[in-house]
Structure 1
């Protein structure tokens, strides 16, 4: 048993009910390592689903690299590849899309009330979310960057947002 497993052996945090758990959407990710990191994060937080949006022209990742980075989380969370036109059919109607992106008009994540049922969208490592993506009810948020570097790895940024969502909804996990 590793140190983390020993630590959490006597701590019992109830997972979110499936109808409440966040959904994580990675758009046009470039590396299977980042996809694996998102799967691991999704399993840590208890996401109900992870979607990797890829268009037909894009290569689908070799899942062996994703699995290596995700570790045991690879089989612990539901995930799939889908095309842009298929995305909406995988998201329940009650969910609100939250785009984590540095775009004009985006709100400071730490000052924004996140929805109870969140479908968090993160974009590619190079170009972020595709230009013009605006889904029904979408909220655009950014992470305030105080230092000289103004970007984060996609999985780190997703972690900041998902754990802020958990903090805001702490009444659900006490």
Structure 2
């Protein structure tokens, strides 16, 4: 661990947004799932949520470029539990879904606690999911196609959220609780050592100002 890399980890964690997330519903293609994770990392999303009722979780591929190491993924057995969990955390959930009440995605205030629900590649979000959320959003299409690839849609919406949050100064303060911050710093800095400590059910040691392990 070099001081420069440790400082980079600090800069990234300082900007992680706890109340901005994504739910994927049966997004089963590894290429798309990996691209969504990569975008989440790029805009500072701390964790995403995945529901896969039709198959197992997609396997990360090269598109992620290692981003899966920096974005936690919480899995859910069904869409009801995923949406309920986020509602209990105080987030509003908006589905990318074409309906009569759907709003232009730019009309949403993403500075508020927000989750974006994205559906399967061909069929989109299920009607059950559409009925559970707080609202529907669309990306206006001016050409012949009616929708974007799911990973592209995720990027378009998330970077609008980033734009709004940057303007509101939400990336200028740390959102993580101190204990979670220290935990993530250790796991990012020393993943193999962290795995060993977890296996032994021992607490992580402290890190010094330059990222060195302090054994007391």
1:37 paired residue number? 35
Q: Does 1:93 align with 2:84?
A: no
- Normalised to the residue count of structure 2, the TM-score between the two structures is 0.65
> CA–CA distance in 2 between the matches of 1:30 and 1:17?
25
- Normalised to the residue count of structure 1, the TM-score between the two structures is 0.79
Q: Does 1:15 align with 2:15?
A: yes
Q: Does 1:107 align with 2:98?
A: no
Aligned residues: 157
Instruction: Using the TM superposition, give the Cα deviation of residue 83 of structure 1 relative to its aligned residue in structure 2, in angstroms.
Output: 1.3
Instruction: Using the TM superposition, give the Cα deviation of residue 150 of structure 1 relative to its aligned residue in structure 2, in angstroms.
Output: 1.8
5+ residue gaps, structure 2, are: 1-7, 173-216
> CA–CA distance in 2 between the matches of 1:35 and 1:112?
24
Counterparts of 1:4-153 in structure 2 under 5 Å?
Answer: 15-18=15-18, 20=19, 22-55=20-53, 58-63=54-59, 66-84=60-78, 85-88=80-83, 90-91=85-86, 92-114=88-110, 116-133=112-129, 134-135=131-132, 138-153=134-149
1:4 paired residue number? none
> CA–CA distance in 2 between the matches of 1:119 and 1:110?
14
For 1:80, what is the secondary structure of its paired residue? strand
The answer to which structure has the higher helix fraction is 2
Instruction: Using the TM superposition, give the Cα deviation of residue 61 of structure 1 relative to its aligned residue in structure 2, in angstroms.
Output: 3.5
> CA–CA distance in 2 between the matches of 1:108 and 1:71?
31
> CA–CA distance in 1 between the matches of 2:127 and 2:116?
16
> CA–CA distance in 2 between the matches of 1:74 and 1:93?
23
Instruction: Using the TM superposition, give the Cα deviation of residue 124 of structure 1 relative to its aligned residue in structure 2, in angstroms.
Output: 0.5
Q: 1:31 to 1:112 in 2, by over 3 A?
A: same
How well do the aligned residues superpose, as a CA RMSD in angstroms?
2.2
Q: 1:49 to 1:89 in 2, by over 3 A?
A: farther
2:196 paired residue number? none
5+ residue gaps, structure 1, are: 1-8
- 1:115-166 deviation digits (Å, cap 9, x = unpaired): 5111110000110000132225x12110111122221010110111111112
Name which one, 1 or 2, has greater alpha-carbon Rg: 2
